[in-house]
Amino acid sequence: MNSHHGLLEQRAAAKMRRRAHSNTNKPASSCQDLLLTTVTHGMLGAMLNPFDPDAFYIRLDAHIIGIEPRIARSLELPVGLNFAQLHEILQATFGWTDSHLHQFMVGGLTVGAPEFDEDALLDVRTFEASEIRLQDLTFPYEEDPPLTIVYTYDFGDNWRHQLILRRASREEDVKYPRCIAGTRSCPPEDVGGYSGYVDFLDAWLDSDHEEHKNMRQWVGRKFHPEHFDLEATNKAIARAIRASKGGYRFRLLRMA
C-alpha cells in the first residue's frame, strides 16, 4: 500500500470520524470493556441467549451506499466468524482487492485493524476485529430483528457498505459461509469514488466518448458493470477464508 496514499486515507477517515463521534464518550480500555460498553447501545454484548449458537447462522444483506441500481450481495455466515474474517469475505464477495484501509462502524464504535493508526492520527480507538465475533452481537427481540452495520473500504474513494444482519435457523448439510445472491460488479479500484465512477461509466459505455478507449484499456476486458458470477464469488470466499487463517491476510503476508 502506498504510504502517502495511506496517510491521506487516514486523514480523511479522521475528519469523517470526528463528525461521527463528536459526542462519543472516552473509549473502553479493552475488548471486554468494548462488549460491556456497547450493551447500552443495544448492539454488542455477550450473547445471553437460551438457544445454542450453533443452531443458527447470520443472514447478511450488503450493498454499496449511494449507487443505483444497487451493487448488492446476500451472504449466509457462521456465528463464529470474527470481523477480520468478515472483512476478507466482503472483499472477496464484492470483488475488491484489499488495497486500502477499512473499518466497521458497530453501534457507534470502530472495529478494524488498530495498527493502521499507530501514530494516533485518529481521534477514536479502533478495536481489534479478530477479537469480536458475530456471536457477540446482541439482536433486538422484535420479530425478524435486523442489525445495521456500516463497512467502509478505501477512505479516499470512501466506499460505504450497508450491512443488514438477521439471525436464521441453521440448515443441515449447508456449509457456511456462502453467497446466495448478488447484483452487478463493484467499481474498479481507485476510480475516484462515486463521482469518479459515474464519469468512468459514461466513458466506458459511450463508444463516441473521448476517453472510451482509455477506460476500456484501463479496466480490462473482464470488467462489466452488470456482471455477477455466483459460482466464482463462492470460490473466492472459500479461498479468502483458507488464506486468512482466522484473521487478516495482510498480517500473514507481512510475516512471510
Q: Is residue 254 part of a domain?
A: no
**Better-scored residue on pLDDT, 205 or 3:** 205
Cβ burial of 61 (10 Å; 0-12, 13-18, 19+) is: middle
- For the question of whether the overall pTM of this predicted structure is more than 0.75, the answer is yes
Q: Is residue 81 part of a domain?
A: yes
- Looking at the structure, do residues 59 and 15 belong to the same domain, yes or no? yes
- Looking at the structure, do residues 214 and 108 belong to the same domain, yes or no? no
Confidence of residue 146 (pLDDT cuts 50, 70, 90): confident
Confidence of residue 45 (pLDDT cuts 50, 70, 90): very low
- Looking at the structure, do residues 204 and 218 belong to the same domain, yes or no? yes
Give whichever of 31-40, 111-120, 135-144, 193-202 has the largest mean pLDDT: 193-202
- Looking at the structure, do residues 134 and 202 belong to the same domain, yes or no? no
Residue 148: pLDDT over 90: yes
- Looking at the structure, do residues 56 and 173 belong to the same domain, yes or no? yes
Residue 182's H or E segment, with its range, is strand 178-183
- Looking at the structure, do residues 238 and 218 belong to the same domain, yes or no? no
- Looking at the structure, do residues 193 and 169 belong to the same domain, yes or no? no
Q: Is residue 206 part of a domain?
A: yes
- Looking at the structure, do residues 159 and 48 belong to the same domain, yes or no? yes
Confidence of residue 171 (pLDDT cuts 50, 70, 90): confident
Residue with cell 460488479: 185
Cell output for 63: 450493498
- Looking at the structure, do residues 74 and 110 belong to the same domain, yes or no? yes
Distance CA(250)–CA(154), nearest Å, equals: 15
pLDDT score recorded for residue 217: 97
Angle subtended at Cα 43 by Cα 97 and Cα 72, rounded to the nearest 5 degrees: 35
Cβ(84)–Cβ(134) below 8 Å: no
Number of domains in the chain: 2
Q: Is residue 256 part of a domain?
A: no
- Looking at the structure, do residues 163 and 192 belong to the same domain, yes or no? no
pLDDT score recorded for residue 120: 64
Least Cα distance to 168 among 186, 151, 180 occurs for 180
Buried b / exposed e along 100-129 (16+ C-beta atoms within 10 A): bbbbbbbbbbbbbbeebbeeeebebbbbbb
Least Cα distance to 76 among 176, 144, 163, 183 occurs for 176
Q: Is residue 72 part of a domain?
A: yes
Q: Which domain holds residue 194?
A: 188-227
Residue 234's H or E segment, with its range, is helix 230-244
**Better-scored residue on pLDDT, 3 or 209:** 209
At 92, which CATH number? 3.10.290.30
- Looking at the structure, do residues 7 and 130 belong to the same domain, yes or no? yes
Tally of CB atoms within 10 A around 232: 13
Q: Is residue 220 part of a domain?
A: yes
Q: Give me the mean pLDDT over the 40-57 stretch.
A: 55
Dihedral, CA of residue 224, residue 226, residue 231 and residue 235, to nearest 10 = 60
Q: Is residue 255 part of a domain?
A: no
- Looking at the structure, do residues 245 and 209 belong to the same domain, yes or no? no
Helix, strand, coil shares, percent, the chain, to 5: 40, 20, 40
Angle subtended at Cα 41 by Cα 66 and Cα 129, rounded to the nearest 5 degrees: 70
Cβ burial of 238 (10 Å; 0-12, 13-18, 19+) is: middle
pLDDT score recorded for residue 142: 64
pLDDT score recorded for residue 54: 75
